[in-house]
Structures are given as C-alpha cells and as structure tokens.
Structure 1
Amino acid sequence: MRKQSRNGEQAVRDDRFPPMLFGVYIGVLFLMSGIHMGLLVLFDKMQYGEMVQIIVPILYWAVVAIGLTLYTRWKIRSTYEEPMHQLAEATERVANGDFSVYIPPHHRADKLDYLDVMILDFNKMVEELGSIETLKTDFVSNVSHEMKTPIAIIKNYAELLQMGNIDEEKRLEYAQSIEQAASRLSNLISNILKLNKLENQRMDLDMEVYDVCAQLCDSILQYEELWDEKEMDLEVDLEDRAYIYGDRSLLELVWNNLISNAIKFTDQGGRISICQESEEDYVRISVRDTGCGMDAESIHHIFDKFYQGDTSHAKEGNGLGLALAKRVIELMDGDIQVISRKGEGSTFTVTLPAAGKEETNEPH
C-alpha cells in the first residue's frame, strides 16, 4: 500500500512487509505440503514401517518450521531491528554533540517507505542542528569581539581620567571617547535585542498606511551634517506621495541604515542617489553610492549577522544593520537586493507592497 508523502511530491509505502511476502509463505507451505504427501506415497509404496512413516514427516516439518522461523527472524532483523539500532546509535551521537551524522536511506528515491522518510527527516534535522550550532558559535564569537572593543576603550580612557596631571581639553576628549564607545555598545545591544525579537516574531508590528516619501525625506535630513562634512553630492528623486502598508518605526531603521552606510562607505566628494518609483502593486526605493563597493564574496554574505566586508573593522559598525533591515523588510512582505562592484559603489533596492487605493484615501 502506498500513500502520499507530507510534501505531496511522491508516494511513500506505508508498510515494510509487502503483501507479496505473505504470498511467498503460502506458496512455500503448499510446496512443503505437496512434498509431504509425496513422501507418504513413497513410504507406502516402499512398504516402510510405521515408525519411519511417523518419524520422518515429523523431522521434515521440524526442518520446515525451523527454516521458516529463521527466515522470519532474519527478515524482521533486516527490516526493523537493524535500521532502528542504526537510528538509535545516530541519535546518541547527536545527543553527544556530533552533528556530522548521516544515515543513508534503505531504498531508492522512487521506492521510499515511511522508515526511509523518517531517516531522511532525521538527516535534515541533524543538518539544521549543525547549522544552528555553527551560527551560535559564530554569534558568540562575534558578539564577544564587538563588545570587547568599546569596553576596552571605556576602560582605558576611564583609567586616563583618573590621572591627576591632565588638562581640561584632554579630559573632555577622553570623556567624549567614553561616550562614543558607550553609545556603540548600547546600539549593539539594542540591535541584538531587536533582531532576536524580529527573528522569533515576538515583536508586535504596528502596521499602518503612510507616506513613505515623507519618511525618506525626514531620514535624509537627519544626515545632512554628515554629507555636508564629506562634501558629497546628493541626488534625490522622489514622488510627491507614495503610500505603503507597514510598520513606520521599523522601516525608519531600514532607511537610516541604508543612508548611513552609503555615507560611511563613500569617500570625500562622492555621490549618493536616493530614488523612489511606484508601480501598480509595489513601491521601489533605491539607495546608490559611489563608494568602495563589494566583491562577490561580500555580496553573498552582506545580510548575515555580524558580517563586515571591511575585515579590518576600520569603519565603525557591528554588522547587524543590514541583517536587521532584511528581516524587517521580509516581515513587510518586501524584498531587498544589492548590486555592487568593487571600487564602483553599491546599489541597495528595497521593494515593498503598495497600499491599496481604498486605503490611501484614509487620513494619516
């Protein structure tokens, strides 16, 4: 008997003893019965004694019974016991922290039964556990590294402040350095908590229809001092209004991150372009810069937690901003893509569902 697997893509047998096996048993018993009748006729024709005619059939059926019992025992062992022992041993290894375990299924992909499916699910589970363990190790390592630097700065400058022979200018400089390091540490912890809540969907979304163009203008103005300081050209191409349905405060994090990254990674006198366009069902926002750009490896990992293409950590940051932005956009049923070439700059494009026409008529 066969039934559909859980993903509905292929049929899976729901038994490991096929009906044909019982046909084999019946056929063997019929054959043995025929041989038994033949022996009785032979003994009668050869005029053997009664004892022979009684003892020989008993021994004959004893051999048949032993043979069938041994065959049944072998079949049960190979069909059930060995796979279950193998699975039990693998489970014990996983429980002891070995995530390199792999159990091969016992049948081909077109002849899978429920035990094969259970083994495949077990292999997938172990692979996922291994990935989680790797992520956890990387997470702890990266958090430790990112926290270590500002803590060391705070400690060093606090020791310098305790010295009695420093002037007021130096004292102010040290205090500002401590404040910047504390702010960096606070932002790191805040982003970790936000990302954790978003990934575990424990943050309540405050969804509303609002004008994203107005929000983009506000975000751009926040960084006016920075792009003036670096003498950058800023090109802004926005519609008068574009309404989306999303969480205003969370999407503000996205725009602030993309704009601040564009400024941070663009050299003095560079150019930043922020464009927005609307389609029937979507609103698309692009942030383009003429900065250092990224290679293929960096693009592949740019949305990973704590990943920083600048391995020297010369640029301020903790590698959580883009991971946080991607998760926010996913929760809004949107998408974020990046196009970049080393030395030629980067373009981040965010696509979000547009609000329905009936919703945009409501005052906000």
Structure 2
Amino acid sequence: MTTVSISSWVQTYCVFNQATRSRSRSRSPSFNRFNLPIIPVSKPFRFFRPSNRLGTHQRRRIEQDPPKWAFDLKSYMIQKANSVNQALETAVSLREPLKIHEAMRYSVLAGGKRVRPVLCIAACELVGGEESMAMPAACAVEMIHTMSLIHDDPPCMDNDDLRRGKPTNHKVFGEDIAVLAGDALLAFSFEHMTGSTVGVSPARIVRAVGELAKSIGSEGLVAGQVVDICSEGLTDVGLEHLEFIHVHKTAALLEGSVVLGAILGGGSDEEVEKLRKFARCIGLLFQVVDDILDVTKSSTELGKTAGKDLVADKVTYPKLMGIEKSREFAEELKNDAVEQLRGFDQEKAAPLIALANYIAYRQN
C-alpha cells in the first residue's frame, strides 16, 4: 500500500472563532461573483481589488490570536489520506492488461497531499454524511486530478520530468501509454463513483456525477487549460483573464470536490451553495499560492520542477502583481472562504477551516 507522509507538509493549526475580526474587516461587496455563469474571458471576475489594507501582520494573525479551541489538522489529514490511499489501492488494482494498470497505479498511488478527496469527505461530514458515503467520489476526484497531471506533463503540454518527487508518467511508460493511462483513469473514475457509492439515493449520485463532469469539461478544467495554453507569450493579459484561467483550470475541480461531498452527504441547496462559494475561494487561493511557490521555492522543496512558469513565459499572479500583492490577495481569498462557513457547526467545519489555512500558508 502506498501512503503519504503528512508531517513534511502540514502543521497543527489552531482553528478558532474569527467573528470579531470578520466584523472589523472591510468586506468587499463581491460575493455575487460566485453566482456568475461561465462567461467569456473578456468579462471580469473582479476577485481582486489591490489595496494596502492587508499586510504581513494580518497573515500572522492565526498564530498570534489566542485559540478558543484547537483542531489537529495533521492527525486529521494522516487519517483521511491513509483511508483514501487504501481505497485507491483497492479500486485501481493490478490486472490485465498489466501495462496500462501499472501506469495508472504508478501515478495515482504516488503519494500527494490528497487535498481534493479530503475536501470531498470533509464537506460530506459537515452536512451530516459519513465518510463511506463520499469515499468513492473522493477516489474519483483523485483519479481525475491524477489524469490531469499525467496529461499536463508531456512535451506537448508543460514538458515536465518530475511529479511528486518521481519521474513523470511519460518518462517511465512513454507518451503513448501515459496518455492512455490518463484516459483510463478518467473513465474509471465515473465507473467507480456510480458503482461503489452506497447509502446514497440514486438521484443524489446522478446530481453528483453531473457536477463532477461539468467541473472538468469544456466549461471547467479544460476551459482553463485551453485559455492558459493560448495565453503563453501574450503581453496584454490582465487580471480578469488570469482569473478566468485559474477559476476554471484549478478552482473548478476543487469546487467539484467540495460540492460532491455536500450533495452525497445530503446537504440542503443552501448548504451546497455556501460550500460552492467556499470552494471557489480556496480553489483560486490554491493557484495563487502555487504561483508564488513556483518562483520562491526550489524543485527539491516543491517535489516538481520549479520556475517552469517563468521559462514558459506564462502569466502568473506574481508576474502581474508582484509577490507581496499576490500574498495579500491570497489572504483575502482565505478570509472570504472562511466567511462562508460561519453558518455551520464550527466544530464540524474545523477541517475545512484548517484546510483553507493550510492552502494559504503551505510551503510546497
């Protein structure tokens, strides 16, 4: 069984009631942005409005403010990640044809933080569901995420030789098998989700399948990827354009992960939409932090090739805004994400609050 070491990338976070700070913080009248349909690149998302109201001292607040109660994210992630790894080990078994299943298992069992499946499970439990109800969907999300990484790495895309600290799939199995391994994981993700989910009504499973498919298709992950590719080398790309890319390329699958869990756990429409807004914030947050790490960390620290965005002349948040403004934007997104969890039981919401903080302050 392949497991992931959590201690190297996550600390124990203290999660506490931030209501007083939320009231004192200047709120942007911008949550209507989350209700927007998929729109052309030329129209703005308006996530970011540069300001000087956020600074280094605010990024340190979570460490300085006295906690009302604590949540051990490290232990939670170890438990959930190992459960996901065990489920993936069983689901993606080694069988004929051996070559394709070896390639599938090589990438999907290569470790990783398992943030997306853990988000799926945490959202399910937040609305009253159980881990078992969300586990097949959590595995499906990780299979799809792995597919996107396999398809990202060949020379025709990002041309990466390193992924999760190991040679990329196409370097080990060849480009032809790598492409097919990604295809197989995509197909199997839906087969596994529909065939292995128990304790959930068929209507909810169908709704969840539709959400997942939309999050990765031509109005989701693929849309962001295509616009990203077409934007390489352009000199007139602005923030709205960049936000379109990442709201679709990165945030869409994170959003799908959370929404799947909420639907399968029996969440109300209002709860599902609050969690959708939460997920859009942390999805964009994930990419902003990724952009920052790409220019501030080494390949050894990241477990993947560092500085590749600069080499490819890609538009990133640090390139458009600078490192400090990008960090301020990340802080604002994190605060907006946590705000969406106010109406839930805060003890049950603790994993999601802690994960938002982890995504904001992660180092790889």
Query: Is the TM-score greater than 0.5?
Result: no
The structure showing larger relative contact order (alpha-carbon pairs under 8 Å, at least 6 residues apart) is 2
Q: Which has the higher strand share?
A: 1
Q: TM-score range by the shorter chain?
A: under 0.3
User: What TM-score, normalized by structure 2, do the two folds share?
Assistant: 0.23
Question: Between Structure 1 and Structure 2, which shows a larger proportion of helix residues?
Answer: 2
